[in-house]
Amino acid sequence: MHDRYTVCSVHKTEGHEETSDWRQCHECREHFAEFETYVGMGTSSFNFMEDRWDEAPTFDPTYCSQCKGMMKLNSEGYTTLPDGESSKICERCNVLR
């Protein structure tokens, strides 16, 4: 799970050489389309103890553009709409479409 769900793994797999610490790597931040996903993978329980991110940045929550419910991009399904604004709808609203 560490190899699939952590920024540390992305840092190593992608060969980012800017720094040896993924928490300081700009390439790692740019790798993720959504800041919420970056922070989620940086703080997931799949990180090793030495990779804990104690001072992780905060982010504004994402809301479904249809039902206005809060979405959790790291653990729930969603769809990004091709509206030029990257609007997102939750999995429940997507099924009802």
The CA distances from residue 92 to 23, 61, 75, 76, in Å, are 34, 18, 14, 10
User: What confidence score (pLDDT) does residue 79 get?
Assistant: 95
**Predicted local confidence at residue 42, as pLDDT:** 94
pLDDT in tens, 20-68: 899 999 999 999 989 999 999 999 999 999 888 989 999 999 999 999 9
pTM of the model: 0.82
Query: What are the CA-CA distances from residue 32 to residues 7, 26, 69, 94 (Å)?
Result: 9, 11, 23, 23
Banded model confidence at residue 78, pLDDT cuts 50, 70, 90? very high
